[in-house]
Amino acid sequence: MSLYKAKPGAVRSEATTQTGEMLNVNLAHRILLKLPQYMTRKRRLKSTISGRFTLVEMMVSMTILSIMILMMFQFMIASQKTLAWSDRTWRVYENSRVVFDLLERDLQSTLFDDTPGMEVGMYIGDPDPTDSTAALHICFVSAADPDDNATSQLCEISYKHHSDTSASDPYDLTRQLTSNADTTNWNFYGMPSNWYINSDSDPNLAYFEQIVGGIETFAIVCRDGSGNVISSDTEISEGPTQIEITMGIFDENLVDAPEEIRNQTMREFTKIIFLGHGVE
pLDDT of residue 10: 47
Q: What is the DSSP string of 125-175?
A: ----TT-GGG-EEEEEEEE----TT-S-SEEEEEEEE---TTSS-TT-EEE
pLDDT of residue 6: 46
Q: In the predicted model, is pLDDT for residue 279 greater than 80?
A: no
pLDDT of residue 58: 85
Chain segment 11-34, per-residue pLDDT in tens: 445 555 555 556 555 665 566 566
Write down how long the chain is.
280
Q: How many domains does the chain have?
A: 1
pLDDT: which is higher, 125 or 18: 125
Chain segment 134-180, per-residue pLDDT in tens: 999 999 999 888 877 888 889 999 999 999 999 988 999 999 999 98
pLDDT of residue 273: 95
Residue 44 lies in a domain: no
pLDDT of residue 137: 96
A 10 A CB-CB count for 11 gives 10
Residue 159 lies in a domain: yes
pLDDT of residue 32: 58
Classify burial at 235, counting beta carbons within 10 Å of its beta carbon; exposed 0-12, middle 13-18, buried 19 or more.
Answer: middle
Residue 268 lies in a domain: yes
pLDDT of residue 80: 84
Q: With CA atoms as reference, report the closest residue to 161 among 139, 132, 198, 141.
A: 132
Chain segment 36-69, per-residue pLDDT in tens: 665 666 565 555 545 577 888 888 888 898 999 9
Chain segment 200-258, per-residue pLDDT in tens: 666 667 788 999 999 999 999 999 989 999 999 999 999 999 999 999 999 999 988 89
Residue 219 lies in a domain: yes
For residue 232, give its domain range.
85-274
Q: Are 95 and 249 in contact (CB under 8 A)?
A: yes
Q: In the predicted model, is pLDDT for residue 191 greater than 50?
A: yes
pLDDT of residue 29: 58
Chain segment 87-122, per-residue pLDDT in tens: 999 999 999 999 999 999 999 999 999 999 999 999
pLDDT of residue 270: 97
Residue 240 lies in a domain: yes
